[in-house]
Structure 1
Amino acid sequence: MINYDVLKKYPLCDRCFGRLYAKLLHTTNLERGRALKLAKAIEAEINNDKETLKILARSGVKEIKNIDIETESCPWCRGIFDKVESLINKTIEKLKDYEFKTFLVGTHIPEEIKSLEEEIKTDYMEGIKQEFGRIFGKILAKKINKMPDKENPDIVIHINPYTEEISLQINPLFIKGRYIKKVRGIPQTRWLCGFCKGRGCVYCNYTGKKYPISVEEIIGEPILKATKGKDYRFHGAGREDIDVRMLGDGRPFVIEIKEPKVREIDLKKIEEEINKDGRVEVLDLKFCRRKDKVLIKNTPHRKTYRALVYCEDQISDEDLKKLEEELKDREIYQRTPKRVLHRRADLVRVRKVYKVEANKIDRNNFELIIYCDGGLYIKELISGDEGRTKPSVSSILNKPCYCKELDVIKVHDGETNGRDE
């Protein structure tokens, strides 16, 4: 049944009345509402139902004769569909500084309109938010020759057609690749000064940073400049210590550019510019999506390390063979190392060493090639960290051992840990 009683309280325009029954018949809300009102007006004239005719005339049925009553403004749409053209022009003006391929329209309506919809809703109704967004988006797409995208839009246009407020949500640009860190002494990410927390002080020479440069900055700054973005964030597949090199074919990463104005950049040229630095090299830069960032950050990849180890006592070939045998397919119970207790929860993590290759250098020095789960602290695997890591190289040999140098030589993307963090 069509509920014409709603028109007694609210003089809905043709479009809004038709929206109450949007899921019936394949036509526009405007045409549907007008047809329903006209059908009711004909019935009212036949029955000489002047009260109904007055109600219909008040809601905009101009064909009714001999009823002298003015049409009232619609309390639901309040004329927002008459503003579409001007709002589109304002939107295009806001978009002119941004390069993008896809967009999404987010329509916002006042609370009182939401309350009205709740009061008059039917089982066949379409919300005014949905209709306005659909019409606005369709016209805008044609005018700017861009595609709407509900899943991964470059830009979200937030619009309140009632207040005519328009704002842009510029979604990040994501670029993935691999990096090689050729030198020691560079942190992976920006490291704020512990005293001023980035504001700048005498202790950091007013730079706001504990270290002057990072892998993140060497990679991020050229990309930020090319995209004319606001800021950037670096997401790596794990991280190496500041004194550890990242070698081999590099560590996977995603760089996230906030509010980019330019999205079409030459990644090969960017690679060349970054690699001129000499300390960090990037490989295989590609555009990607947010899900790649999540995957890289949250997947614990196995890794292969090269460690140069010093032992306080003399090392024999038998010692090294014992290490290889004892650490093969061995679970390691590692309590959070003392050196990272200030930033990591104090708990025992279980990781696995799959294979170790030991090579003697001289009586007190040897090299270890360690293939293991991601998240295993290698320095503590060697030293034992005063018994917090069990077993360790030191405990197996019953000799104090220390890691002098450490390199990551392989991040095994396709091989995840046997256990979760």
Structure 2
Amino acid sequence: MKNYSADNFLDKAYDLLSKYPLCDSCLGRCFARLGYKLENKERGKAIKISLILYLDKKIKDHQLEDLSQIKDILYNIGKDYSGIHEIYFTSEEFQQRTCYLCNSEIEEIKEDFYKKALTLLKKLSEENKKEIKYVLGVKLSDQIKELEKNFVFENGLIYYESMRNEIKREVGKQLANNGYSPGIDNPDIEIVYDLDTKNIYTISKKTRILYVYNRLSRRVTLSSWYSDNSLENSINAQIMIPFTEPSEVRILDEYPIILDIDKEKIQTKGYFMKKIHEISGREISFIMSTKPIKRTYKILYYSETEQKDSERIYNNIYQKIINAENFEDLKNKLKDINGEIISIDLISSEGKHKNLETKLNL
């Protein structure tokens, strides 16, 4: 692994931006241990401005024979710093690129987490008539974790800070500025932001209950963040889910859900839930990290042409079984169907979420 020191960090930044488009925050995070009390966004902006000045000087001093060799780095630095491109590449449109690490979404993620956490803390404080002590957590997708790990290792980034830490710190500052300071020593709850679903959930010290559920009606959401017509509002309980399907998909297989209420069975608003066992912190963390490795969907659709790879149900109505990794994968496969989709049902799945009672030794 190639190391570097503070006296050549600009060379390292030049090297990184020659290969990857990086937003201000993600570039600054590569040097997070340099410059105490600076935000990563400030670091990244300062580094990019320094590089722009350096490149402009090289051009003006006639030290660059071929200007085309710096076009990629200008694109990777970003649109906010495109003045030098406008001067030297007057006939070419600037090529906007998304950040390699966060897909240019990190500022939006911080703001979304902050707003949802603030709303939740206000609600909990009013209900409990006291200040809620909390810590923040961030659940990265497997893809981002692997991407970040490889990025750090391959580029020898000894001053790097994880995306998770940056998001938690910046959101915590915003919440503290609004009167809700984190209680790191003795928190009541952990508020976790899931980057995959853009939802928040809480992990508390008290025992919770693991259920498995089926969704028998369409367009009834789980979370009240998306709709008043939700399971959460219907049963007046906080819910935690490691994964789910879009609300238009019926879930006929058993998916895990964690609730803060204790009943043997719950049936309401299109959902049927069966109690599995009481669980606590260790079990909750394991469950929230599970997801299917394979999902099987039943597709009902209408087609005026004969479909040989599907089962005819009635006249022009056909049924087809499709295996997919997740719903995004399914959507890509649905493009091959020559007809109009009537309904989608999740009928089975495979993965660590199956037989949780045995895996957790409950």
User: So what's the TM-score if we normalise by structure 1?
Assistant: 0.38
